[in-house]
Amino acid sequence: MERERLQAVLTRIRPGSGGIVVGVWDGVDTFTGHAGRLPDGASSLFEIGSITKVFTATLLADMARSGLVALDDPVAAHLPPDVRMPRRGRAITLEDLASHRSGLPRLPHGLLLQALTRDRGDPYARVDAARLEAAAMRTPPRREPGRRVAYSNYGVGLLGHVLARRAGMGYDELVRERIGAPLGLRDTSTAIDGGRLARGHSRLGRPKPHWHFDALAGAGALRSTAADLLAFLRLHAGEPAGPLTDAARETQIARAHTSGLEFGLGWMLLPGSRKVPYDVLFHDGGTGGFRSAAAVSPERRVAVVVLSSQVRGLTQIGLRLLGALG
C-alpha cells in the first residue's frame, strides 16, 4: 500500500477531538499516516491498552523457552509462599492465564466496584503488589481452569506480575530487556510520558486523564507508537527471523475455541472471512481516552496498526485495511 493510498484512507476517517495514526506493513515496506490533533504526528505516543497482553504472552513464551518458567507451571509456584490461591479442580497454570482459560473473573475480588466508582478515572493505579496478592487469595475461579474462555484483565495482569517476580525486575524493565532491546523498540514502555504522548478523549470529545498501572501492568499498561507496534507485528510474521521468533510462533498456537474464535497465548485468532480472506492474529485495546487495534497475517506477511486518542471503534477500520493489503 503506497503512502498516497494510505493517506486517502485517512482522509475518510474523521479523527474527532483527538488524533488517529494508521500504520501498515505490506511485507516489504512500512508506511504510517496520521490525521487530527497529535503532538508529534505519526510518531506520537498512545496508550495501547490490551495490546499489552500480547507482549505479556510473548514474554511468557520467551521465558518458557529459556527455562525460567514452564507453560504448565502453577501460578502459585511463582507467588510468595503465604499467598494461597483458591482452587476449583486443578491449579491454574501460566498458560491458562495467557489464553483466558483460568476461570478467573475480569477483575479480582474487591476491585471491580472501586474501578467503576472511586477509581473510575484511573482504575488500576492503586493496585500494587500487596493489594493484588491479597485479592488473589480472596478471588476463587468461577469455573475449573481449562474448561472455557472468559476474558480476564486480572488473569493477564497477574501473569505479568509473576513473570516480573520470576525475572527479578519490574514489568517495564522486563519488556524493555526481553522484547524492546532485541527488536529495537525505542518508544514502548509503561513509563513514557512528556510531550510526545497524546491526550486522550472520551467518545464525546472530552479530555480524559491518562491511565497508570502498578502490579496489573501486564494487562494494559504499555504506551507505544505505530512504528514500534509494526516492528512487533513483524516479529509475529517471522520477519526478520531472530531470537524471539520461536516464542512468537508459540503464542500463535490455538489453545481454546469460543464463539467462532480461537485463542492462542495473548492473540485472538480470526478465521478468514469475506472482509479478510485469510487467517489473522488480532488484538485490540482501550483505556479511558484511547483505542487501539493490531492485526497481522503471518501467512500473507502483512500487518496493520490503528491508534486513536479518542474512544472509538477501530476494529473494522483495521480489518478493512488488512484486507486491502492482502
The amino acid at residue 47 is: E
Distance of alpha carbon 66 from alpha carbon 185, whole angstroms:
21
Task: Output the pLDDT for position 116.
Answer: 56
Q: What is the pLDDT of residues 21-70, one digit of tens each?
A: 999 999 999 999 898 999 999 999 999 999 999 999 999 999 999 999 99
Q: Could you count the other beta carbons within 10 Å of the beta carbon of residue 206?
A: 12
- Starting at the edge strand found earlier in the chain, the sheet holding 268-270 runs 30-36, 19-25, 302-308, 291-297, 280-286, 268-270, 261-263, 256-258
Enter the pTM of the model. 0.95
Neighbours of 277 (CB within 10 A): 10
- Please report the pLDDT score of residue 184 as a whole number: 97
CB-side neighbour CA atoms (13 Å) of 123: 21
CA distance 153 to 306: 21
Below-70 pLDDT ranges, the chain: 1-3, 5-8, 11, 112-119, 326
Secondary structure E strands in the chain: 19-25, 30-36, 46-47, 200-201, 207-208, 223-224, 256-258, 261-263, 268-270, 280-286, 291-297, 302-308
C-alpha to C-alpha distance for 52 and 35, rounded to whole angstroms: 24
Q: What is the pLDDT of residue 104?
A: 95
The pLDDT tens digits of the residues spanning 171-202 come to 999 999 999 999 999 999 998 878 999 999 99
User: Which of left, alpha, beta for 103 (phi over 0: left; psi -120 to 50: alpha)?
Assistant: left
CB 280 within 8 A of CB 297: yes
What pLDDT score does 79 carry? 97
In the chain, the domains with their CATH numbers are 3-325 (3.40.710.10)
CA atoms within 13 A on the CB side of 286: 13
Q: Look-up: residue for cell 472520551? A: 202
According to DSSP, residue 198 is labeled: P
Closest alpha carbon to 197 in 205, 209, 206: 209
Tell which phi-psi region holds residue 158, choosing left (phi > 0), alpha (psi between -120 and 50) or beta: alpha
> 187: which DSSP letter?
S
Read off φ and ψ for residue 197, nearest 5 degrees.
-85, 120
Task: Write the CB contacts of 100 (distance below 8 Å, at least 6 apart in sequence).
Answer: 149, 150, 151, 152, 155, 156, 256, 263
